[in-house]
Structures are given as C-alpha cells and as structure tokens.
A and B are shown apart, each in its own frame.
Chain A
Amino acid sequence: MAGKEAAPPEQTADLTAAPEAAKAEVPPELVAHSLGEYARAWIARVRGGESGVLPVIIAMAAIVLVFTVWSPNLIFLSPVNLVNLFQQSAVVMVLAMAEGFALILGEIDLSVGFVGACGAAITVQLVQPLTTNWPWWAAIIAGLLFCVVFGAIQGTLITRLRLPSFIVTLGGYLIANGLFLEILGFGPFSGFPNLAGFSNNLHVVYNLMWGTIDPTISWIGAGVVVAGLGGWMWWSDHRRRTSGLVAPPASLTWLKIGLIALVAVVVVSICNTNRAALGVLEGVPWVIPIVLALLTAWTILLQRTKYGRYVYAIGGNPEAARRAGINLALVRTIGFSLCSLTAGIAMLLYASLLGGMSNNVQGGQYVLYAVAAAVIGGTSLMGGRGKALHGVLGGLVIGGINNGMYLQGLSFVAQYIVTGFVLLAAVTIDSLSRRGAASGSVTRV
C-alpha cells in the first residue's frame, strides 16, 4: 500500500519474545489513550494473571450477595449493621495495614496482636481516674511509644543479628502476651480496666470507636475530602498529561473521582440514618476518619517518599537495594517499628470497641486475621507488592464474613473455618497469579 506509513524501525524491533505476556504485565493506564483501550488493556492484564484488587472486589460482592439473600429482613444491609460491620472491621483493617509493612519488606510480624494490645492496655491503664489519671493524649502517646520501641527491638534483632523475623516475632508475641497480662494486673480493676466512667479522658478513648460526628458536619467533611482528593488527582494527572509524561486518559481520572464521590455519598448517607431503636444515633463514627487518615498517611509514606520506595526495593530485590547504597538494616528496623506502631493504633481501637481491656483479647487470632486481610486485599507474601489500601479492603472482607455469619447465629467454629478457607483462597490466587505471570513471560535473566 502506497499510503501506508511504515512503523518506525525501532518499534518493530521489539525484543519481547511473548508480546501478549508483556502486555499482561504492563499496567493498563500506561498504554491506554482512551477508556475503551484502558478496558481492553485491563482485561488482558487480568487474563495474564495480574488481577490487582479484582478478587477482593468480587469477594466483597459475593459476601454482600450471600448474606443479603440469607439474612432475614435484609438485616445485613441495614444501616445499623453496616456501621457495626465497619467498626468491627476497623481493627482488622488497621492491623492489616500494620502487617503490610512487614509483608512488603518480605518479612512477617507475628507479634502485632499482643504488642498492640500491650500499648492499648498501657493507654487504658494510664487514663484511669482512680489511679494515674493521665490526660488522654499523653496516655495514647505512651502506649504507642511502647509499641514503637518494641518494634525497634525486634527489628534490630532481625537485621543486626540476622535472625529470621518469623522466630523473633514469635518470641515477641509470647513476651508481649506475658507483658500484656502483667500490665492488666495493675490497679484495683481485677485485670479489667475499662473505659466506663465520668472522666473526659476515658470518654475520648471510648469515642475513638463509638463517637459520632454531627450529620451536617459529616456531609461537609465528606465534601471537603472528595473535593480535595479529586482536585489533587485531577491536577496531578492533568499536569502529567500536558507535559507529555505517562498518564491515564482523562476520562479514567474522572471515572475514579466519580467513584470516590459515590462511595462518600453512600457511606455518609448510611451513617447519617438514625440507627438507634430508641432515641437518636446518627452521624459518621469517628473511626471512619481515623482509618482514612491512617490510610492516607501510610499510602503517601509508601508511594511518595524515599523511605517507601526503599521498602519496596528491599522487598523486591534486597541485593539491588544494597548496591544502590540503601541502608537495609535501618529501613527494615523502621519498618518493624511502623508495623508495631500501627498495631498499637489498631488495638487501641479494639480497646475502644470493647470499652476496656481484658485478658480475653484474642491477640493471637488477630495476627492471623491481619495477615489474612493483607493477603486477601492483594498484598503478596513474597514481598515487594502491597499497599495500605489492600489492608482496608481485606479487613472489610474478613469483617463482612464474621459479621454475616454472626447474624446467622453460626458459631465461632464456623467463622474460623470459613475465614481459614478464604485465606487459603487468597494465597492460592496470589501464588497462581505469580506463576501465571512468570510462566507466560519472556526471557528471565
């Protein structure tokens, strides 16, 4: 054909032996110029084994469907239950974000449950008006500081003495369990310091989970968040597009902003419904902005800072990180500290949910939930892949399963078994998608 432009010679010499495999591994927003192209690239990617957050979205839809059909009178989807579900899930979500630091580094932290519980117990003890009566903020700082130090010690043992994180944190788990029981024993509370009483400091800690924001302020706050996030997304994508850098199509940016706005409207509408059988209980619970703030902070830290970049590099290829001059021991130790710090926040929310701390905290089981939630959300156990968002999504799935089965009056036995199977399914998907990506791929050096 005379009029047909020949492709530039450099392009035809694409060295990729299996183009379809490479296509599958390239994120669709990098090669697409329109929404249709994006959708096609995305489907190719899912077929190639890179499913991203798709499994977790499907799992959530399945949970909603099953329990809605199953539960009488649509209790599962009632506003009071959905808010409950989020509150119960919040602990697992934050704990999974904590575990994410260890998992992305290619390590594991089994101690998160009881280390966090220790920190929370310290906080609950310190705000007791009968004994120490510390201000709430000082008590929270003290509790979280304990977690940071505990994490730093574990991290130091793992990095400087080169001990396996599995064993060090297993030891840390037992030590923290003992310390936790010891801390509970202080004061005249028979091992059950609680958050009931007439002290402002007790109220603040209790309200972390149970406090609600005025409905009008909830709407304003949601509006500010959506406008801020949407504006920032649009501005950064727009700037990249106009300066010729790799950027997603504009329609995709708008679609994402629209989805965020939709989620915000749905969540605030549900929360602003009066949920009390008697009296008034409405407004967004405090725990939602707390989880969102933590999600934002850890997302920025992991995706937008040098530190976060080094965490991924170490998880992906420690040798490459070492040759790049990165201080592996320091990055890893800080990672374990951040993991324990986040766990402290999670268990503080747990203490608030329970209205106190007692020796029946299931710190051991919560570790497993945290790992399960992170993996279900899409974080890889092999290191180098994962996001803070994965913890939140995975936490919702686990919370949804537990909540739905509880509504059915099923025993804990059944909940354990089902959660275990969901975890196995998630790990299988993780492993299969990696294998699929590896086998379909091109020359590996």
Chain B
Amino acid sequence: MTAAVAPTQATTEPLLKIRELDKHFGPVQALYHVDLDIPSGQVTALCGDNGAGKSVLTKCIAGIYQPDHGQIYWDGHPVHIRGARDSARLGIETVYQDLALADNLDIVQNMFLGRERIGFGLLDEDSMERAAAETLASLRVTTVRSIRQPVASLSGGQRQSVAVAKAVMWNSKLVIMDEPTAALGVIQTRQVLDLIKRLRDRGLAVMVISHNLNDVFEVADRIAVMYLGRLVVQDKASTFDRQSAVEYMTTGAASRSVGGSSVKD
C-alpha cells in the first residue's frame, strides 16, 4: 500500500475545527451553531437530507460563503476564509458534484487549469505532463489510455478520479468531495471509494458529502449528520448502524442512544 504519512496532530487537535457557525440567507437560517471536527488521516462523512445545510457548510469551508458568526480553526489557529484562493492557500480543495472539468481540454490541461507552469513565457507542457502522470500513478489511476486524451472521452469514474487527482496535486491537506459517487455505476463507485481510502492512507483529511449510506459505511471513519441546519451528531462510524443514521437524517434524533457526542440543544 502507499507509504502512509503518519498524521502527527491527528490524535490531539483536529485539522479543521468549526465552532458555533451560523449562516442565514435573509430570514432563512441555513446553519445554526454548527460544531464540526475534521481530523487528518480520516474520512469524515457528512450526511443529511436535502436542505439540511450540507452544501452551505461546505461552501463556508471553501470560502464561497462567509459565515455570520462562529469560528473556523485550521491546525488550531483561527482563520478567516474569504475566498477560493484563501482556502486553496490553506490546503483545502473541493471536488464539486459537477466536477468542473473542461471537456475539450485533456487530463493534464484540466489538472493544471489556472495554475499552469510556465517556461520562457510559454506553457511548460513537458513538466506539467510529468507531474500529472506522477500524481495519477501515486493514486493508482491507471485505467486511462493516455493522459493526453480529452476529458470528453473519459467515463464517469475516470472523470471523478481526474477531479480528485487535480485536488490532491497541490499539497492539499483537506479534500472535500460532494456526492462523489452519485452519478456512477457499481464498478466506478468501487474505484472512487478505493481512491478515497488511498487519500486517507496518505494522511489527508477527507470530507465526503453523501446520501448513499452504503458508501458512507464502507468508507467513513467518522460520521456527522446534519438536520435542518444543525449538526445533530458526530462520532466514530462504528457507533452508528444503518437505522440510527437514517433516524438522525430524517428526524434529527435517534430512538436508541448510540453513545455519540450528540450536540442536541
């Protein structure tokens, strides 16, 4: 397996710590006192029904929305993330559901889009191709015929892999994935889940937003559930079972206690 970089601070301080985060749009309270920890070297699954606030929370972390109240800590230090550039500088990369790949560009061009390497005023294609090939190889994405083929010719799983490789290329520490398996078939889902595990083994913090409980239980080390703008529970995945997870997602509470650090008020 990959030589896992042992996460040093994983046991003590989580990589990303969110405290009392509030966000409202006009009269609609989208996030209400959200507390969330995302440690390195673990996969945290963020679950919840439609409209629970998963996307808003993600966008606050990615810097697209500014929270109204509350504090985000990165490596123990309070930070203000004011835009995509800020989050990228910290090492946060988001893989959106629509992947944001340009169909007409090839894999290398997509992976370096916006951060091209330049030599003598022109694009340094050779160096970019080498770096892209290394990243894909390290993630064991080997099913593509050529890294110079246009993204239009890739399957859904391959596209997801390219989008993930693009995200981890920049020494990122936290990769947020929005519904990574939603549009995929069985074999492709398998490959993306393996990829997520490989990211974790490298010591990265991974946050996966998903509806699919099969995937969540397969890949997650920790599970956090949102319900109507609140983060109702977060704990080790082993403390949940399928029924309790569904109950948290649909009602915000579980009939049986699962011993989690339930953040109900």
Contact = CB atoms under 8 A, between A and B. Distances in A.
Given A309-B113, A443-B188, A445-B156, 13 more contacts: A15-B155, A15-B156, A15-B188, A16-B154, A27-B149, A27-B150, A245-B126, A306-B123, A312-B109, A320-B101, A321-B113, A442-B155, A443-B184
B6 interface: no
A27 B152 CA distance: 12
A243 interface: yes
Contacts of A14: 143
A10 B143 contact: yes
Contacts of B150: 25-27
Interface string A238-281: 01100101100000000000000000000000000000000000
A2 interface: no
Interface in B87-131: 88, 96, 98-105, 109-110, 113-116, 118, 121-123, 126, 129-130
21 contacts: A13-B143, A15-B158, A17-B155, A17-B185, A22-B145, A26-B149, A30-B145, A31-B145, A312-B102, A313-B113, A316-B103, A316-B104, A320-B100, A323-B100, A324-B100, A324-B114, A325-B85, A325-B114, A442-B153, A445-B160, A445-B183
Given A306-B123, A316-B102, A443-B183, A11 B143 contact: yes
A324 B142 CA distance: 25
Nearest to B185: A443
Interface in B157-210: 157-160, 183-185, 187-188, 191
A441 B158 CA distance: 13
B122 A445 contact: no
Given A14-B143, A304-B122, A309-B123, A25 B152 contact: yes
Contact of A10 (B129, B142, B159): B142
A16 B149 CA distance: 13
Contacts of B188: 15, 443
Contacts of B113: 309, 313, 320-321, 324, 326
Interface string A1-45: 000000010110111110001110111001100000000000000
Contacts of B145: 22-23, 26, 30-31
Contacts of B238: none
A384 interface: yes
A26 B101 contact: no
Contact of A321 (B88, B102, B126): B102
B118 A306 contact: yes
A316 B156 contact: no
A11 B142 contact: yes
B146 interface: yes
B37 to A, nearest CB: 27
Given A245-B129, A323-B84, A324-B113, A441 B105 contact: no
Interface of B: 84-85, 88, 96, 98-105, 109-110, 113-116, 118, 121-123, 126, 129-130, 140, 142-143, 145-150, 152-160, 183-185, 187-188, 191
A401 B145 CA distance: 41
A27 B106 CA distance: 10
B122 A320 contact: no
B156 A444 contact: yes
Contacts of B191: 13, 15
A319 B64 CA distance: 14
A304 B116 CA distance: 11
A317 interface: yes
B149 A30 contact: yes
Contact of B187 (A15, A25, A324): A15
A320 B99 CA distance: 8
B159 A445 contact: yes
Given A246-B129, A320-B101, A323-B100, A305 B123 contact: yes
A313 B100 CA distance: 11
Given A15-B188, A30-B149, A319-B98, A309 B116 contact: yes
A13 B187 contact: yes
Nearest to B130: A245
Contact of A30 (B96, B103, B148, B183): B148
B143 A306 contact: no
B213 to A, nearest CB: 21
A153 B98 CA distance: 33
A197 to B, nearest CB: 42
Given A15-B157, A305-B121, A312 B143 contact: no
B142 to A, nearest CB: 4
B261 to A, nearest CB: 34
Given A304-B122, A324-B113, A27 B148 contact: yes
A315 interface: yes
Nearest to A13: B143
A239 B124 CA distance: 13
A384 B173 CA distance: 33
Nearest to B191: A15
